[in-house]
Structure 1
């Protein structure tokens, strides 16, 4: 009996399988979920992918149905061992990676690996569209198997991206320089940016003028613009024409001949999808797409709210505007309590685009009662700004439209008809909750203190010089919109695509604009010229559609890839043979000599664009920036420079500094002013957009009179 007790004691001393292991992707998500599940669960983070394709080679067996070769990600062996050890001690394993294709693929790979190690331990899958206690507990009560259609769609995406990237990239390595890359989506995005840059560079602004009248109505000053002159819409090309019209109107009485008004209803916008969130955050907050997604991920995974951790928003990768019925009811009840006059009779349901996968809801707050003011007790800075945008957009989407009345007055001054207008709210509607998400102009009401037949005092009639605006360069917001409209990429790919182009130094950000580098232009030219059937929007969109059909189990992706890959492989072989080696041709001889050794300087293409290097390299390592223009003060070279103080701001200055202190914050163009010979620069402001101007403050060529002086 004593021996039996010892044996029993020995058995009880062994660690018992008591807990269920839950595997998520991030530590923040793990901390939040573990608090909801209690002591019978152990929640660990995989820190993203632990099993994936190697980075050093294609790792796709093209001869056997494009089967990919997966390995343990470098540096993740210890993490995989931690997950395995914990899985062996657990009664069950729950795979809870993100609720999208990539998350499903991560769950599949981890589950497949752990199944081999734990044998009989049950493994199931759950997903959380929001990380709140009710949502997590509900999901845990309904575990499911892996959705293999999602895994296959993600597998197909990875394979096709590998085939394109690892087939085209070696061509660039051999013909241009090592370290370059091409990609199915990134190369099309680069083409869009390069095509737009060509339009920007070829655009020549044209001068035109408008005429304004400052009219006194009792204590009010009204500004009106000339709409008709001698019964026709004026086309004023220069200052002389403007002055002629002003002279004809000066001294004439100003009489209000007509006042009319129109009412219009402005409906609220649907709640955010991923692309619309990135666009709005870029426009309203100045966030890059990557920053928006990083902050949104943290809001989704969980924020310490003092007495609890809570995911403040639903999953942030979605292309649907659908809202759950429970969220609709909760929001409608909340609005009826706090904004009864702006609450519609029933919740508003938005139609879902045919192109949307509709796997998830729109991006919304998990609890509508956590207003931005309430959230401000726990979150600050970028997190509060982005949460405020999301909360405002969602709550506004469930409110009544705003009704705006616009008054338009016609004012006759001699042969000229001037028009003034002003708008005001009849009903504020959803704008009641919009603060950060609306511009000051959108929220401001203006009155028009005029009456029909009223005589006004024309205090001033003036001409205003303008220049036609060319096409705008892409920004994070507009390139995301373009990719979405063309059906290229998915919510999870927009931000990584932009960052890849910047990391490869194909594109640079300049005042929020995406500008192709010299290297980017060369890569785009090679790919567009030789592979137009691949580097185009229709092919890429067609591939996205094919991947959606794989998820819907409507197409065999292997047979589709066979039609695409083998002709591409043959085409690359032909181009590899026919395309001239550009390594030497990219270097340009110059008339300059090295100040250190006296050998000729050569213009070379580097990771950051062109630079001048000594031809005696590696014995002589002298380099310098390529001159962008001639200094108008001393004839030296204008080169890019970076300030040594503060935020190291970029500017353009004379190479003869400190003897010559000429500098400008505006980037020189390759054009010179035909009037004074100084160089033209690129300028940008909200009123005129991107435009070219002469750098000479005393020259009027493409130069507004209100531009500040700089230089000397």
Structure 2
């Protein structure tokens, strides 16, 4: 049931019907649910029959460390981790304020939540001067790091002066700098505020023969939430954090809608950048300074792609993961990484000598690498399926090729049966290339075949790779095309490539001349090159550009 009071909307779930208590799986069929909704549709209002409240205190969050800054920047601003660190670096290095370079934040690679006493005194003074006395606690809030490996050589991430409010420096910052500075400023200020006082509330609403329950919180005193609130991803029970309006027993509220929702067990959501950083921190993998580079490496090597801001593993990523898990098990174990971090900490404080540690690590790794040198590519990139080839009866294999995953026969090359596999895992049989009737390859008189490639269909010689003759499926108009100025044999025609339309000689591969823009049969007045390219922009209009000397000629 959906309802509201004033501008605050809330929802409630059914917990009782016709005197019977309803558990999670009590309504087992859709028809039963529809019958309940039909019986309650006649009631325009629900009555508040019970309000249960329990007060709890919500403490302010600690000042930012590197990981929490990356997490909150991703959640609240939508910034990637490397983008966050670049912006933070620029704020730390300094911004021109009134002809003077001023560092606006403290060092941004830290796992300490401590603030200096001078900073705390300034923050408390600012709160006392700008907010009601209730928002300033009687003594400063103190925080301790949750990480056992925390290296507290620096303060938490904070403004160098809380008196530099975001609005006062906004005109000196670009949009990204302002957003991140404001986030850091609000978090730092909130860390010295009083706790918020919340009532965890359960409200029972009677509607006909049914009782609905709404769970959530009402705010008695907003405390630190006046200036800062965290955003939580992938909340399992979002009703517990829902905001409820002030309601009293006996009060009537309108029924906006009665809705049926099927509750199904869902798999754990894929990582976002924020949740991955949080998990790395919890498992003790990496350091504040390495989280952004870890994520950047995953993307750069195409082990993952981002889909709706969540990491999706690629086929390459799956192969690498499988190889590491099967062959280098020790080195991808979470405990190994955490223990190695502890060992490095011991070396840093002088408890252990680095050379014996490095020697032992190298000897074990080198021996393992030598042992795995013989692992075949076939073993790594293919997986046997419980299915036989419909053509020859041999087992089928799931393989990874240049353009992704496909299913092929283990009898290749004698049997060329194949099926392509899309991102959803659905497969479709690859039909053999169609022969072009009445034509032979102009290079070696072999058969011409219509093939499907990365950019669509094309015609090529059946004797590939010995003969590399290819041509467009739709033969381009060459009668009015410009003659290639390099080979003086072919014509310059439009082609479709990875980055869009480009122009090249149709005498490829003998001639590999390429032009970025459409060529015109006009000699360059500067260097006398046989053609120029035509290009139109909003600012400069239509121009002829020489591909050799870059001389431009405005076209009226």
Instruction: Please classify the TM superposition score into its range, dividing by the shorter chain length.
Output: 0.5 to 0.7
Equivalent residues in 2 for 1:414-425, closer than 5 Å = 414-421=208-215, 423-425=217-219
1:153-211 per-position Cα deviation (integer Å, ceiling 9, x unaligned): xxxxxxxxxxxxxxxxxxxxxxxxxxxxxxxxxxxxxxxxxxxxxxxxxxxxxxxxxxx
Describe the shift of the 1:297–1:213 C-alpha distance in structure 2 as closer, same or farther (beyond 3 A).
closer
Describe the shift of the 1:615–1:343 C-alpha distance in structure 2 as closer, same or farther (beyond 3 A).
farther
Which residue does the alignment assign to 1:93? none
Is residue 8–residue 245 contact of structure 2 (8 Å, CA) maintained in 1? no
Rounded Cα–Cα distance in structure 2 between residues aligned with 1:527 and 1:330: 51
Deviation at residue 218 of structure 1 after TM alignment: 11
Rounded Cα–Cα distance in structure 2 between residues aligned with 1:581 and 1:399: 61
| 1:547 counterpart = 2:344 | yes
Find the partner of 1:350 among 129, 134, 143. 143
Rounded Cα–Cα distance in structure 2 between residues aligned with 1:547 and 1:246: 62
Describe the shift of the 1:619–1:542 C-alpha distance in structure 2 as closer, same or farther (beyond 3 A).
farther
Deviation at residue 434 of structure 1 after TM alignment: 2.6
Is residue 47–residue 206 contact of structure 2 (8 Å, CA) maintained in 1? yes
Which residue does the alignment assign to 2:533? none
Task: Name structure 1 gaps, 5 residues minimum.
Answer: 1-211, 605-612, 625-640, 646-712
Which residue does the alignment assign to 2:511? none
Deviation at residue 509 of structure 1 after TM alignment: 1.6
Q: Which has the higher contact order (CA 8 A, sep 6+)?
A: 1
Deviation at residue 460 of structure 1 after TM alignment: 4.9
Which residue does the alignment assign to 1:616? 464
Which residue does the alignment assign to 2:355? 558
Secondary structure at the counterpart of residue 52 of structure 2: strand
Find the partner of 2:189 among 383, 395, 402. 395
Deviation at residue 339 of structure 1 after TM alignment: 2.1
Deviation at residue 409 of structure 1 after TM alignment: 2.3
| 1:225 counterpart = 2:13 | yes
Is residue 217–residue 241 contact of structure 2 (8 Å, CA) maintained in 1? no
Is residue 593–residue 600 contact of structure 1 (8 Å, CA) maintained in 2? no
Secondary structure at the counterpart of residue 316 of structure 1: coil
Which residue does the alignment assign to 2:155? 361
| 1:242 counterpart = 2:39 | no
Equivalent residues in 2 for 1:153-232, closer than 5 Å = 212=1, 214=3, 223-229=11-17, 230-232=20-22
Which residue does the alignment assign to 2:93? 301
Which residue does the alignment assign to 1:278? 70
Rounded Cα–Cα distance in structure 2 between residues aligned with 1:214 and 1:496: 47
Rounded Cα–Cα distance in structure 2 between residues aligned with 1:475 and 1:576: 35
Which residue does the alignment assign to 1:532? 329
| 1:325 counterpart = 2:325 | no
Find the partner of 1:447 among 241, 245, 252. 245
Rounded Cα–Cα distance in structure 2 between residues aligned with 1:481 and 1:614: 54
- What TM-score do the two structures reach when normalised by structure 2? 0.65
Which residue does the alignment assign to 1:681? none
Which residue does the alignment assign to 2:282? 485
Task: Name structure 2 gaps, 5 residues minimum.
Answer: 234-238, 383-399, 402-407, 409-415, 419-429, 437-446, 455-460, 473-496, 502-556
- What TM-score do the two structures reach when normalised by structure 1? 0.51
Describe the shift of the 1:274–1:598 C-alpha distance in structure 2 as closer, same or farther (beyond 3 A).
farther
1:32-89 per-position Cα deviation (integer Å, ceiling 9, x unaligned): xxxxxxxxxxxxxxxxxxxxxxxxxxxxxxxxxxxxxxxxxxxxxxxxxxxxxxxxxx
Which residue does the alignment assign to 2:550? none
Which residue does the alignment assign to 2:302? 505
Is residue 546–residue 557 contact of structure 1 (8 Å, CA) maintained in 2? no
1:268-316 per-position Cα deviation (integer Å, ceiling 9, x unaligned): 1000010000011111111111000000000000001124210000000
Equivalent residues in 2 for 1:81-160, closer than 5 Å = none
Q: Which of 457-466 and 263-272 deviates more?
A: 457-466
Rounded Cα–Cα distance in structure 2 between residues aligned with 1:614 and 1:385: 59
Describe the shift of the 1:242–1:558 C-alpha distance in structure 2 as closer, same or farther (beyond 3 A).
same
Deviation at residue 369 of structure 1 after TM alignment: 0.3
Deviation at residue 424 of structure 1 after TM alignment: 3.7
Is residue 256–residue 453 contact of structure 1 (8 Å, CA) maintained in 2? yes
Rounded Cα–Cα distance in structure 2 between residues aligned with 1:214 and 1:331: 41
Structure number with greater Rg is 2
Secondary structure at the counterpart of residue 285 of structure 2: coil
Secondary structure at the counterpart of residue 404 of structure 1: strand
Describe the shift of the 1:243–1:347 C-alpha distance in structure 2 as closer, same or farther (beyond 3 A).
same
1:577-615 per-position Cα deviation (integer Å, ceiling 9, x unaligned): 2545569964455344457975697999xxxxxxxx999
In proportion to residue count, which structure has more strand? Answer: 2
Secondary structure at the counterpart of residue 160 of structure 2: coil
Is residue 505–residue 519 contact of structure 1 (8 Å, CA) maintained in 2? yes
Describe the shift of the 1:457–1:509 C-alpha distance in structure 2 as closer, same or farther (beyond 3 A).
closer
